[in-house]
Structures are given as structure tokens and as C-alpha cells.
Amino acid sequence: MPQMLARNLGRHINATVTILGWLYNKRSSGPIAFLEIRDGSGWTPAVVNKEAVTAEVWRSVEAATQESSVSVTGKVAQHPKREGVYELQVTDFQILQLAHDYPITKKEHGPEFLMDHRHLWLRSRQQWAILRLRDAVTTAVNEYLHQQNFIRLDTPIFTPNACEGTTTLFPVEYFDLGTAYLAQSGQLYLEAAIASVGRCYDFGPVFRAEKSKTKRHLTEFWMMDAEAAFVEHDENLKIQEGLVRHIIRYCLEHCQEELAIRERNLDNLRQADAPFTRYTYKQAIKKLNELGSDIKYGEDLGNDDEGRLTKNSAVPVFIEKWPKEIKPFYMKRDPNNPDVVFNADLIATEGGGEIVGGSQREERVDVLIERMKSEGLNQADYEWYLDTRRFGSVPHSGFGLGLERVVRWIAGAEHIRECIPFPRTIGRLRP
Ligand code: AMO
């Protein structure tokens, strides 16, 4: 029999086909068994009528347990009650491997138990939907950036120095060369590469030894960092907005089933695909104080503050022009107000928090050296980076998008640990 993906059954009504997959669920009513089979592409109901199959097939159906791997053959039919759902009227059923006592059952399991069994938990419907949304976000990012003339250019993970401050570095012994650090961001390398290719981005794992135990922090997460020559602050924000809106549209178009499984409010997502709001940091602080926050000028925004600012906003909000003291050395100062830098954080709607951070970069070598000194960075470590400002320096900008943060927002997931296949957090390294 031709092998078919569950996802494509609707195109083959009345055909007899085989699905290779796993038994997700089984319920019997006398001589009829109702199975739910998943094959990676989706789920399909399969109905077995004892009268219509051999005694051997019926015995296999009776013996099959949750998560046994199976081969199921049957005729494709429209589900009698559920519009747009197709079922298999089973003629043959074979167990490929019988699973004994699958640990994740229908009963409620705590998050620690589920995380300990992450290698199995991935099979559940909700996790399946999130994994597929993650893939869609990645595809949308690649698609949009290529449309905007960026090329992908991968940056190293072993690095000799810090990009995002020295307090969140993971050290690694590196042969006779001393200590290397796992990359916090590929940005500095991309800044060098734009002088070759103009616009480029990387997309890979980055590492932060952050002692933050929140629903939004991982120690290993995937970041897309983009960098473009001859792009200044305003255009940088336009590219970011275009990218995030493209992601929304792509997911709405390609992930209807996944978003339905997540019970995601689609109207909210659709409404977020409109021009984003922009506040300066100063305006944001004022607004937050009016909303009851005791945040002071010069402080970073916490989770609650981000939530307050976006609570009634249908669209994501940029907070731009932060005080230079709380931002990294490479951000360009605003010539009209040198106390602030040309940067922005993008805060998602519905409690999504910060999903993108970016800035125009300081292209003047003397100002850059002064900023590095005041941050206590060792200039010798950054000589290669300073060369980018010595040989044909140009205005340029870039930004970093946290993949899991975006997936968490689009999927409406409570915790970021569900938005990466095998999460690494301060308290978790296994499985
Ligand atoms: P930043 O440090 O703001 O910027 O990081 C960029 C984006 O990465 C995500 N992110 C995280 N996601 C999960 N867990 C974490 N611990 C975590 N930390 C950050 C967020 C954030 O917006 N080099 C700059 C980017 C640039 O300017 O090009 C950078 O790394 O979504």
C-alpha cells in the first residue's frame, strides 16, 4: 500500500493507504476500536471494526499500547462528524514495537516531571505544535532577510572576548591558548563581515551565564543577529518591524493547525501586524510612573514594567534611546543628546516581553575606545574589532532576535523552556 502522511489524507479519499507512526490514543466500544495515530506530520483517527479485519489484526489492535510504533493500513474516509477531518477505516494493523508503560499519561504531570521526560514529552500535541511553530519562525526569518538582501554568515561559538558584558560569560579551557568563552552574540563578527558582504545575519546558539530564573531566560538560546552597512537608527527599526510582521503573517498563513492546537488568539496576532508604537526610554519611564511603577530614570525595565507598557497595546512597542550607562560600549551616541544611545528594545504584546534588541553602532574609533575604557574592557582584546573602524568605517546598525522569545509569544506559551527542544536553564542540563 502507498505510504501516506496523516497531513495529506484529505487528498486521497477512498484510497487505501498505509500510515507509519505511533499509537497516540485508543478507546474501545465493544467490537469497534477508535485509534488516534500520529506520524510526525499530524494526527489521524483510525477506526477498526472487529468484523472487518482478521482475528490476528484485531488481537494486535487489542494488544497495542500508548506510543507503540505501528503500521496502519486502511481506506481514507471523511470523518462522520468532524468537517475537514479524515479517518482511516482500518484493514490491517501491525505493531512494530510494543511500548511498555509509557510514563506520560493523560493524568496531570508536574513541569519537573515533564522536563525530566523532555525526550518523550516532545511527542505530545502541544509540544509538536510549538516545535513546528519554531520551524516556521526560522523559515520566516530566513525568507524575509533574504528578501532584504541579507546573506547568512555564521559566526564562531568559541570566542576570545565578551560582546554583551563580562558578567554572563561561560568560560571554556581552550588548549594552550588559555580561556575561551562561549559566544553571547555574533554581532562583533558580523560588524566585520558587512565590510565584505554589505548585509548579513547569523542564526545559531548563544550562551549567557545569567542567573535569572524567569519564564523568559535560557542559558543557551538561539539568536538571529543581523547587521547592515549604511543603515542608521530609523531604518534599523523599520527592518526589525518588517521582520516581525513577516513572521506573524507567515505563521498565520502556514501554521493554522499549530495555532489552533495552541488555542492562540488569532485576532490578537493579526492586529499586531500593523505599525509598531515607538516610545523613547524617557517617555517610557514617564508613562510607567503614571501607571504606578516606581522605576527611576537610569534603571532597566523589569518584566512587570514591560507588561505594563504593552498591556493595552495591540502592536509591539519599541523603546528607543536608552541612557548610555546601562547599554553596551558599541552603541552609537545620539549627537543631539550624547547621554543616550541610538538603540531600541522591542517589546511584544500579550506579555511576550522583549523579543528583539538592536542599535546603530558607534563607527568612530576614538569614541569607541573611550567607551571601552569606561567599561573596563581590555583594548588589546578588541584590536581586531577596532580595525573595522580604522579601514573604511561606515555608519551601520543591527539587531538580535531571540528565537525562543518570539516562539513563546507566537505560540502563546507560558514558559520559554517549552520553546526549544532541549532547554538549558540555570537549574537544568538534562536530558
Ligand atoms: P540582547 O542581549 O538584547 O542583544 O539579546 C538579543 C535578544 O536575545 C534574546 N535574549 C534571550 N533569550 C532567551 N534567554 C536569554 N537569557 C536571553 N537574553 C537575550 C532577547 C533579546 O532581545 N548583540 C545584541 C544584539 C544586537 O544589537 O545586534 C544582543 O545580544 O530576545
Quick: pLDDT tens for 200-230.
Answer: 999 999 999 988 889 999 999 999 999 999 9
Q: What is the CATH number of domain 6-97?
A: 2.40.50.140
Residue 178 has what pLDDT? 94
- What whole-number distance in Å separates Cα of residue 426 and Cα of residue 431? 14
* pLDDT, position 84: 87
Rounded to the nearest integer, the mean pLDDT of the chain is 96
| Average pLDDT of the segment spanning 384-399 | 98
pLDDT of residue 162: 81
- Which of 105, 131, 134 shows the shortest CA–CA distance to 224? 134
Each residue of 81-95: pLDDT tens digit?
A: 998 899 999 999 999
| Closest residue to atom 11 of ligand 1, CA basis | 402
Q: What is the pLDDT of residue 360?
A: 98
Per-residue pLDDT, 166 = 81
Percentage of the residues of the chain whose pLDDT score is greater than 70: 100
Rounded to whole angstroms, the Cα distance separating 414 from 401 reads 19
Q: What is the pTM of this model?
A: 0.97
pLDDT in tens, 261-320: 999 999 999 999 999 999 999 999 999 999 999 999 999 999 999 999 999 999 999 999
- Nearest CA, atom 10, ligand 1: 402
Query: Which fold, 118-419?
Result: BirA Bifunctional Protein; domain 2 (3.30.930)
188 Cα: distance to centroid of ligand 1 (angstroms) = 14
pLDDT score of 110: 94
pLDDT for res 164: 83
Q: How confident is the model at residue 232 (pLDDT cuts 50, 70, 90)?
A: very high
Q: What is the pLDDT of residue 62?
A: 97
Where is average pLDDT lowest: 28-32, 159-163, 282-286, 326-330? 159-163
Q: Where, residue-wise, is CATH 3.30.930.10 in the chain?
A: 118-419
Here the cell at position 280 is: 523613547
Arithmetic mean of pLDDT, 346-356? 97
User: Alpha-carbon distance 172 to 429, whole Å?
Assistant: 17
Residue 299 Cα to ligand 1 midpoint, Å, equals 18
Assign 28 a pLDDT band (cuts: 50, 70, 90).
Answer: very high
pLDDT score recorded for residue 237: 98
Ligand 1 mutation pick, 163, 185, 303, 331, max ligand atoms within 8 A of CB = 185
Question: What pLDDT is recorded for position 249?
Answer: 98
Atom of ligand 1 nearest to the CA of 330: 27
- pLDDT recorded at residue 161: 84
With vertex at residue 29, the alpha carbon angle to CA 26 and CA 32, rounded to the nearest 5 degrees, is: 80
pLDDT value at residue 301: 94
Q: Quote the percentage of the chain above a pLDDT of 90.
A: 94
pLDDT of 106 reads: 85
In the chain, list all ranges with CATH 2.40.50.140: 6-97
Residue nearest to atom 25 of ligand 1 (CA): 400
Q: Examine the pLDDT at 163 and tell me if it is beyond 90.
A: no
Residues with CB under 6 A from ligand 1: 163-164, 185, 187, 208, 210, 217-218, 221, 223, 225, 354-359, 398-400, 402, 404-405
Q: Which atom belonging to ligand 1 lies closest to the Cα atom of 406? A: 31
In this structure, which residue's CA is closest to atom 9 in ligand 1?
Answer: 402
Please choose, from the candidates 406, 421, 407, 404, the residue with its C-alpha nearest in 3D space to the C-alpha of residue 221. 404
